[in-house]
Amino acid sequence: MSAVKFLNDILAVTAKELRLFRRNRTAIVISLLVLPLFFTMSLGAGTGEAGTSFSATAHVPIAFVDNDMTITSGRVYSALSSSGDFNNLLQGYREENAIALLGTGKIYAVIVVDKGFEDDLLSGNKARILVYADDGEPSLDTTIVSTVEGTLLYFNPSVDVQMVPVEGASQVQIVQKGAIFSGFSVGLTIILGLVIIFATFYEIAGGISKEREDGTYARLLVSPVSLGAIMIGKTLFDLVLNVIRTLFVLAISVYLYGARPNTDFGTIMVLSLMIALLTMGFGFMISSLGAGVRAVIIIEFFLILFLFAFSGFIIDRELLRGISKSISFVLPWAYGIEALRRTILIGQPLLTLTTQLQFIILSTAVFYGVSYVLLRMSHERLAV
Amino acid sequence: MRHIVGDSITVTAKELKQLLRDPISLALTIVFPILLIQIFIVIATAFGAPSYDIPVVLADLDGSSVSKIFVDKMASSPLVTITQFLQTDEQALRAVERGAVTGAIIIPKGFGDAVLNGRPAYLVLQTDNSKFTASFLVQAAVSSSIASTAQELFDKFGIMFGTQATPVEVISRPISGRPPSGDAILPGMLGMITILGAFDDIVNAVTRERERGTFTRLVLSPVNILSVYTGKMGATIVLNAVRTTLMIIIFVLTGLVIRGNILLVYLVTSLIAIFTLSCGLLLSSRIRSSSTLTILEIAISFPLFQLTGAFQSPELLASGGRALTRMLPWTYGNEALRRVMYLGLGFDAIATDVTILLISSMVILPIAALLSKRTM
């Protein structure tokens, strides 16, 4: 078989896939529009824009009960309300009435400045602030308490303007280094990975399974086109879709939410396509096992859940232990996600991520190799 | 009326019989929520673990007795593991930049002397903030080690020092009275499993029936379309009750104490299931392929974890997200489940949530039925 024929076959398969895709309006809308748009916009909805500072507690209705009624307790209120973290502090409640409202959704926490607050501070003792919080709302109580603690960390009862660090004579300061990233920027790496893996797996594994169920796959295999050309043709087709998807996610992130990746566009695209190739290899492998469309969908769902739990999507891999850590270690997508983070957030050059790149390339090669062997076997069965 | 009720029961029985005959679907109905909840428990456990092995490096450029005490405290921290002791600050900073470790702690020369002589002292901490939670825990480990060092110096030598201690102590009083844990997300997880389950059981079944052509035959049979939908809803409620029971058993086995009335939990999950069914039927009237519908379901479900307050309170979202969350009736279902299961509140506290779910279903279901009929 000449190289020209092989190349022509690849292009023919790619063209056929693109033609089929173009005829399926629903697939175009879901794959290229709904997925990138919905995922990126839900990230923006959750974390706010990349360039702006976002405080999760800023708009949460919180009652402020001042039982001390002194200048100092008034300064606590001023410190909280002017911090930008508590823009919805409600005054005028009695302590018991405010606490009774917790759990109803009208207010979510009650900050109580106890009687004797000023006296404690002026006599050099630790003064107490009680925070009653609706812990039925996930993460809300811990977020409010830690934000109150952070705001009052350097509280000085003698001044009106707070947040001036008090340099004690023998204090130890922690000088922190390392860039700080917005929630949206961190989320962008997750969303990009998620959109690519989610769509790519279904397009390859689901596509082949559907063709198998329709009966067109067997016909394709017995046509005078080699298996290698079919696999590469489908890969090329899906790479085209992934270029469009990556562009779309980046365009929404940059132009709508103000994201500023710390690396160049080429690096993001190369990494995205490497993750896509890895997922395609896995997709080919699953379809080579003869899975039906329904099975593919179920596998897809669990693949994404697995990635959520073990690849660093939500939980940093450093927090995993035991069997979870081992799973994370062998999960090739975890290295892709890490590479996305290190390039987009930290700006590390792609070629310095040798471990991650080697793992992705090796896994991709293994997936493609196994798929080829298994598909070849089913091809021979068909020929017999 | 009796005719409609009788037909509805027949359709319910037919749906359940079909499910029993399909071992894969039946296994999925049982196994799917168990696997799903196990993964959620892994996530919740990882966030609430008492100790971690987050890798850090340390460069003690001081080498004094005070810095050695601090190093000992860092080494015994339950949050971090010192993987390497380095000689220079450049090596330490480089280790973080390379991504080899999450944090680097540098004790500068003169640290011990400054502490012993009452002068301001400082430590340098470099963290890889692309790892959001891990870097936060490294900071906590350093702060805690400084506090322990201060305590030991005070106990042994009567020397007082510490981080810039706040004069105000913030005491947290959660209204549930429960210790802090990841359990608060479990009711939301039940809500999400209910959504996915309801969608998968019946909506996909309807689409598959459409693909096979049996749905048209069912609609053309002498059964009112209302009975068809009510019957399918009945099957959803039965399957949902089985799933909810399974989930409650798993929650109890993993240590969650359900405080409220269990019947209210069944009521809320049933309403979530009915609303999901209504939305699913609406979608299935436009999208005919069952696989496309399932993919769309999965694609939508992941953002829903955030937008329905399953993982995180909707109140903590940005303003756009909060508004979107409040437009989704599922949010009220998850909220009601938390209030009943976690806080132990009664029907009064969830009446609004229940009403919103009910009204939303009553609005969407007739539209779905109408659109479905038009597609025949």
pLDDT number for residue A363: 97
- Asked if B38 reaches chain A (Cβ–Cβ under 8 Å), the answer is no
pLDDT number for residue A168: 40
Q: For residue B165, which phi and psi values (nearest 5 degrees)?
A: -70, 135
In sequence order, which residues have a C-beta less than 8 Å from that of residue A340 and are 6 or more positions away?
A189, A192, A193, A268, A271, A272, A275
Tens of pLDDT, residue by residue, chain A (384 residues):
588 888 998 999 999 889 988 888 878 888 888 888 888 888 887 777 776 667 888 889 999 999 999 988 888 898 898 888 899 999 989 999 999 998 888 899 999 998 988 888 888 777 889 999 888 888 888 889 888 888 887 777 665 554 444 444 345 677 777 777 877 888 888 889 989 998 999 899 988 888 888 888 888 877 888 889 999 999 999 999 999 999 999 999 998 888 889 899 999 999 999 999 999 999 999 988 887 777 788 788 888 888 888 888 777 888 887 788 888 889 999 999 999 999 999 888 999 999 999 999 999 999 999 999 998 887 666 655
- Domains (ranges, CATH) in chain A? 3-51+182-383 (no CATH), 62-151 (3.40.1710.10)
β strands within chain B, DSSP E: 54-60, 80-86, 103-107, 121-127, 162-163, 168-174
pLDDT number for residue A169: 38
Two tokens, residue A108: 């979510």
pLDDT number for residue B44: 67
Strand bridging mode A109-113 / A62-66? parallel
Q: Which residue of B has its CA nearest to A174?
A: B123
Nearest chain B CA: its distance from A252 CA (Å): 16
pLDDT number for residue B161: 62
Closest partner residue to A141 (CB to CB) among B167, B174, B320 is: B174
- Asked if B172 reaches chain A (Cβ–Cβ under 8 Å), the answer is yes
User: What are the domain boundaries of chain B?
Assistant: 2-46+180-374, 51-157
- The 10 Å Cβ neighbour count of residue B179 is 8
Distance, in Å, from the CA atom of B298 to the CA atom of A296, rounded to the nearest integer, reads 12
Tens of pLDDT, residue by residue, chain B (376 residues):
677 778 878 888 887 787 777 776 676 667 777 777 777 777 666 666 777 889 999 999 988 888 899 999 999 988 899 999 999 988 998 898 888 899 999 999 988 888 888 777 888 998 888 887 888 889 888 988 888 888 888 777 776 665 545 567 778 888 877 776 667 788 888 998 898 888 877 777 777 777 777 877 877 788 777 788 788 888 888 989 988 998 899 888 878 888 899 999 999 999 999 999 888 888 877 776 777 777 777 777 778 888 888 878 888 888 888 888 899 999 999 999 999 998 888 999 899 999 999 999 999 988 887 887 666 5
Contact residues, B window 119-138, toward A, CB-based 8 Å cutoff: 119-135, 137
Angle between helices B204-212 and B262-284 (to 10 degrees): 30
> What's the CATH architecture for B51-157?
3-Layer(aba) Sandwich (3.40)
Closest partner residue to B130 (CB to CB) among A38, A135, A186 is: A186
Strand partners, B303: none
Nearest chain A CA: its distance from B71 CA (Å): 15
Contact residues, B window 312-341, toward A, CB-based 8 Å cutoff: 312-313, 315-322, 324-325, 335, 338-339
CB A113 within 8 A of CB B168: no
**Pairwise CB contact (< 8 Å): B345 & A103:** yes
Give A210's contacts in chain B (Cβ within 8 Å): 291
pLDDT number for residue B162: 54
In this prediction the pTM is 0.77
Closest partner residue to A42 (CB to CB) among B287, B295, B306 is: B306
Distance, in Å, from the CA atom of A276 to the CA atom of A279, rounded to the nearest integer, reads 5
Closest partner residue to B164 (CB to CB) among A154, A157, A176 is: A154
CB B102 within 8 A of CB B131: yes
To which residue do tokens 């640290």 refer?
A: B111
Closest partner residue to A316 (CB to CB) among B35, B132, B146 is: B132
DSSP-H helix ranges across chain A: 3-23, 25-28, 35-47, 71-81, 95-101, 117-122, 140-151, 183-201, 207-214, 216-222, 227-251, 265-288, 293-310, 322-330, 332-341, 354-383
pLDDT number for residue A167: 40
Tally the residues of chain A.
384
pLDDT digits (tens, 9 = 90+) for B82-114: 999 999 988 998 898 888 899 999 999 988 888
Give B102's contacts in chain A (Cβ within 8 Å): 316, 318
**Pairwise CB contact (< 8 Å): B120 & A345:** no
Two tokens, residue A61: 């209705």
Please count the residue pairs, one from chain A and one from chain B, whose beta carbons lie less than 8 angstroms apart.
305
**Pairwise CB contact (< 8 Å): A139 & B184:** yes
